[in-house]
Amino acid sequence: MDELQKKYEVDDSFFHRYFVRNAENRFVNNLKRFMLWREGTFHNPKEKLRYVKAFLVEELEDFYEKGRFVLPQIGFSLTTRCTLRCRDCIALSPLFEDRRLGRTFTHIDVTADEFRRELTAIADSVDGIKRLFLHGGEPFLNKDLPEIIECSAKCEKIELVELITNATVVPQEEVLEVIAGHKDKIYLAVNNYSQNPDLRNRLRYEEIIALLKERGIKHPLYSELYWYRQEPLQDQGYTPEKTRHMFAGCWCKHSLQILDGILAICPRASIGMLLGLFDAPAEDIVNLRKCDTSGLRQELLAFYRKDVYAACAYCAPQMDVIPPALQAKN
């Protein structure tokens, strides 16, 4: 990989955030296509590095020689509301109701029209999107979910769509019908929090999975064996070098989140800015509702080229391993 990076003179952050991530997601998409739909050929996870290196050559050629700009992934937070109050929620959903912030905040539900405009703006500005994540909060709480799923499925530039649920809400019939109508492109990722005994009576796995099987909807079950403790967002007193180091080593930096028209580097940055926990410069975000759509391609490219974000100065290292989905006390 080092030879390829030197050949194209790519700085380290952009190389790993964009090119390596695109190669990794190509591997993931191919594997999911085979495992979920039995399409293509099996890519052995034990040989992931070999596949990624081969895909990396193509990704670099696509960008530098063909001028193609493909987003590795984007995520839309469809609602900040959730059925759980996880103490270490990476989406910070419980903070909307936390009176210690001085006031409570109104939860956000993305409308179908907002979603359509924002996704269209992005799709029109790039040559492809390898993976689109639809999450929350709990996305089944968004009343516009059927239209949002339909819009996602019809976007030809998106390769795969992953809808994520915490398995506490049984999806409505209309939602199931829409997913079933596009079940060759959309799958429902079911987070498994059964390791937490306090939640076992609230989880609806058997009922949900039975409905999905009836309709042939693919539904990988993600076993959440542990989480990392999420410390409050506050100024950590880092030097600029330490802040860059935090960003470079953060697993969450690939979790781009779009919420309320704003694209941010991760859910914590997104919600932190929204709740006024810190200020971020304009270049740290992409405002999809105010940007010049003719220049959005360059804005997105500049966003990927950054090697540090203001939010990183407010994040403590995630070191402590804890059980998943521990519930906050009222």
The one-letter amino acid code at 131 reads R
**pLDDT at res. 222:** 86
The two three-digit tokens of residue 133, written as one number:
């994540």
288 has a pLDDT exceeding 70: yes
Q: Please enumerate in sequence order all residues whose Cβ is within 8 A of that of 55, keeping only pairs 6 or more positions apart, or say none.
A: 22, 23, 26, 27
pLDDT band at 101 (very low <50, low <70, confident <90, very high): low
pLDDT class of 291 with cuts at 50, 70, 90: confident
Instruction: Give the torsion through C-alpha atoms of 104, 108, 109, 112, to 10 deg.
Output: 160
**Mean pLDDT throughout 89-112?**
84
pLDDT band at 330 (very low <50, low <70, confident <90, very high): low
Structural domain spans, the chain: 2-68, 71-231+251-308
Architecture of the domain spanning 71-231+251-308 = Alpha-Beta Barrel (3.20)
pLDDT for res 69: 98
**Contact indicator for 150, 178 with CB cutoff of 8 Å:** yes
Q: What percent of the chain has pLDDT over 90?
A: 82
- In this prediction, residues 84-106 reach a mean pLDDT of 83
The stretch 15-35 carries a mean pLDDT of 96
Which range has the worst mean pLDDT, 125-134, 150-159, 177-186, 192-201? 192-201
Q: How confident is the model at residue 224 (pLDDT cuts 50, 70, 90)?
A: confident
CA dihedral over 131, 8, 242, 303, signed as positive or negative: negative
For tokens 């799709």, what's the residue? 123
Contacts of 133 (CB under 8 A, 6+ apart): 73, 74, 75, 76, 161, 162, 164
Per-residue model confidence (pLDDT) at position 102: 66
> Is the CB of residue 291 less than 8 Å from the CB of residue 49?
no
The pLDDT value recorded for residue 225 is: 78
Residue 293 reports pLDDT greater than 70:
yes
Predicted confidence at residue 120, as pLDDT, reads 96
Per-residue pLDDT tens digits for 42-59: 999 999 999 999 999 999
- Say if residues 236 and 316 touch (Cβ distance below 8 Å): yes
Indicate if the pLDDT at residue 200 is higher than 80.
yes
Question: pLDDT tens-digit profile of 232-275?
Answer: 999 999 999 999 999 999 988 888 999 999 999 999 999 999 99
What value does the mean pLDDT of the chain take? 93
Is 24 a residue whose pLDDT tops 80?
A: yes
